Structure 1
Amino acid sequence: MTLIRRLIPKPISQYHPLFYFLSTRTRRALRYWQWKTDGQDYAQEKCSTPLLYRVKKHQSVLIRKLGDSEQHWQHNKVINLKIASPCISGILIYPQQTFSFCQLVGQPTAAKGYVEGMELSFGQARGGIGGGICQIANLIHWLVLHSPLQVKQRAQHSFDPFPDQGRVLPFGSGAAIFYNYIDYQFYNPTPHTFQIRLWFSDKCLEGELRCSVDLGYVYHVFEQQHAFLKIGSDYYRQNEIWRHRKEKYKSGEILDTECMTRNFAKVLYIPQRIDQSFASWAEFTAEQQTPTIKT
């Protein structure tokens, strides 16, 4: 069945700033304890020399028009990205190691030079110190989807705040970050070493995933079952992200296919088109069928 994220009462942390403070500090403390006791070997070593083989390269535009959001947040985001990216660029992920975004980048603070950028939180866009560095996590996740690396922890926003303007990746293919308990982590189950490299061009954040060997296959990531829905008086968006693993050098034969994720999010704007309308949640639920891949 398609995942349905139903509306629930807001958490207690949203009722008073003190509750929010206590909630975040408790969760951070629990994450620190987990890092010390979970027995995982977290990637820490970096190397400026690129590994021999490129697995995937991608670039992400730095300044985009996002609805009516304040553009100074976009420019501040670039400052934050340029502080955070050296914490990750060159990182080596050896066999059986785990990559943790929050461990490597640390907590974004004004003392480190971070400024107020845009954050998506509690169903709205707002300013926050270090806002925008999730763009690095988004890019890394796209690279990881094109590799045998296994995602262990990934969060995504339960709402879609802005209409698509220049979108090149499927909806729902990013990763949300909030230090330190909303982390992005992946694991290297292979006998090979991988490396993430990040750099900046005039208009883009650039990144690549490299490997110590030629894997001999490539991945094609694609979207299925995309739709804008109206349920009652609200709007929602759903899709599925799939991938083929294909032979690299011979005929391009598809070796296997898998569904990576199914997304369902509330839309905070009025879509230009509505693919389906339902009078109620009950009617929508009754219409759900097991999704299948198109051939």
Structure 2
Amino acid sequence: MSRAFNAMKPRKRSKWRLFAGKRYFTWKRYLSWVMGIEPGKLATIRTDEPLEHEVFTHSTPLLRSLRNVDMQLQYNKITNLRIAVDQLDGLMLRPGERFSYWRSIGKPTKRKGYLDGMVLHYGGFRPGVGGGLCQLSNLIFWMTLHTPLTVTERHRHSYDVFPDEQRTQPFGSGATCSYNYLDLQLMNHTDCTYQLKLWLDDSHLHGEWRSTENPLYHFEIYESDHLIHLEPWGGYIRSNSIRRKKLTRFGELAGDELITENHALMMYAPLLQTESKVESSFEMNQRSENF
């Protein structure tokens, strides 16, 4: 375990290394799109008419007070979210089909109206076109964990950048995104059609998964094994497990499975007096991410 944590020690990489690495992963993804090697038929059909049954709904606030972050970047994020939501709202995920976050949204560019939002970068943040779209991928991932849909690709955030104030979800329950190599992909292995509904109001980003059938089970997501480690090289590593209970309509336990294990480099001083108070984070990937 300590060897794995030691591997998370930050390493300074040259600008050329960062540039070359990002281009490599970007073109690798483009190649997989062209060759059609990703499994399942891509979901592309959208409809405004909502399916009959609500499976799960969730919402997250559009604005947060973050230290040393220009609020204009968050206002710009709202514009970015509106553009992306317009590309996803009403998307149908039929049996055997695959959802790809970036294939559905496309590349965020200024020409499409995207603005500079906040992008996480090596434990800090900087402006970037399309910044803030991570809030949408986080929302979709969290909602999907409460459905029978299968997550086939998901990436963790690089660092635990901000304290847990105002957070309502467990640490490590998000899904970072960066065009196009950090994608969120889902598969529908059920016999039902699912529909993704998304919208914004003045204060929140809202989402729903709907279905043609009333689900037989519902799910509860919870955190276990939360720890904070002080490493010999001076950094704090935060870790936990995300698990999921599968419950029948009558509340009977039908299963309990591990979703993921998380390890994150903390970028602020942890409050160690009561370990149970620390609940959420961003994790490590050593690549820029839309926040």
Asked if these proteins are the same fold (TM beyond 0.5), I'd say yes
The one-letter code matched in structure 2 to 1:247 is T
**Deviations along 1:144-167, whole A, 9 cap, x unmatched?**
100111111111123101111100
**Deviations along 1:242-279, whole A, 9 cap, x unmatched?**
1111111x3x1011110111111010000122678xxx
Change (3 A) 1:65 1:219: same
The one-letter code matched in structure 2 to 1:234 is G
The corresponding residue for 1:49 is: 49
Paired with 2:258 and 2:3, the residues of 1 have a C-alpha distance of 13
The one-letter code matched in structure 2 to 1:235 is Y
Change (3 A) 1:147 1:154: same
Aligned residues: 271
In terms of mean alpha carbon deviation, does 189-198 or 66-75 score higher? 66-75
**Deviations along 1:77-135, whole A, 9 cap, x unmatched?**
11111111111110000111110000011111111111111011222111111000111
- Once the two structures are superposed, the pairs formed by residues 211-230 of structure 1 within 5 Å of their partners are 211-230=211-230
The corresponding residue for 1:30 is: 28
Paired with 1:3 and 1:247, the residues of 2 have a C-alpha distance of 41
Checking the alignment, whether the CA contact within 8 Å between 1:229 and 1:274 is kept in structure 2 is no
Paired with 1:44 and 1:2, the residues of 2 have a C-alpha distance of 44
Change (3 A) 1:147 1:4: farther
The one-letter code matched in structure 1 to 2:25 is R
Checking the alignment, whether the CA contact within 8 Å between 1:57 and 1:143 is kept in structure 2 is yes
What's the CA shift for 1:216? 1.6
Checking the alignment, whether the CA contact within 8 Å between 1:228 and 1:275 is kept in structure 2 is no
Paired with 1:193 and 1:122, the residues of 2 have a C-alpha distance of 39
Change (3 A) 1:124 1:213: same
Checking the alignment, whether the CA contact within 8 Å between 2:122 and 2:159 is kept in structure 1 is no
Checking the alignment, whether the CA contact within 8 Å between 1:220 and 1:244 is kept in structure 2 is yes
The one-letter code matched in structure 2 to 1:243 is R
The one-letter code matched in structure 1 to 2:228 is F
CA RMSD after TM alignment: 1.9
SS at match of 2:131: coil
SS at match of 1:47: coil
What's the CA shift for 1:181? 0.8
User: Which is bigger in relative contact order (C-alpha 8 A, separation at least 6)?
Assistant: 2
The one-letter code matched in structure 2 to 1:266 is L
Checking the alignment, whether the CA contact within 8 Å between 1:62 and 1:205 is kept in structure 2 is yes
- Once the two structures are superposed, the pairs formed by residues 51-200 of structure 1 within 5 Å of their partners are 51-200=51-200
Larger Rg computed on CA atoms: 1
Paired with 1:3 and 1:90, the residues of 2 have a C-alpha distance of 45
Which structure 1 residue ranges, 4+ long, deviate > 6 Å from structure 2? none
Paired with 2:15 and 2:26, the residues of 1 have a C-alpha distance of 19
Checking the alignment, whether the CA contact within 8 Å between 1:65 and 1:165 is kept in structure 2 is no
- Return 5+ residue gaps in structure 1 as ranges: 277-295
Checking the alignment, whether the CA contact within 8 Å between 2:26 and 2:179 is kept in structure 1 is yes
Change (3 A) 1:203 1:9: closer
Paired with 1:34 and 1:141, the residues of 2 have a C-alpha distance of 22
The one-letter code matched in structure 2 to 1:87 is Q
Change (3 A) 1:194 1:159: same
Q: Percent identity?
A: 36
Paired with 2:183 and 2:138, the residues of 1 have a C-alpha distance of 12
TM-score scaled by length of structure 2: 0.88
What's the CA shift for 1:224? 1.1
TM-score scaled by length of structure 1: 0.86
The one-letter code matched in structure 2 to 1:84 is A
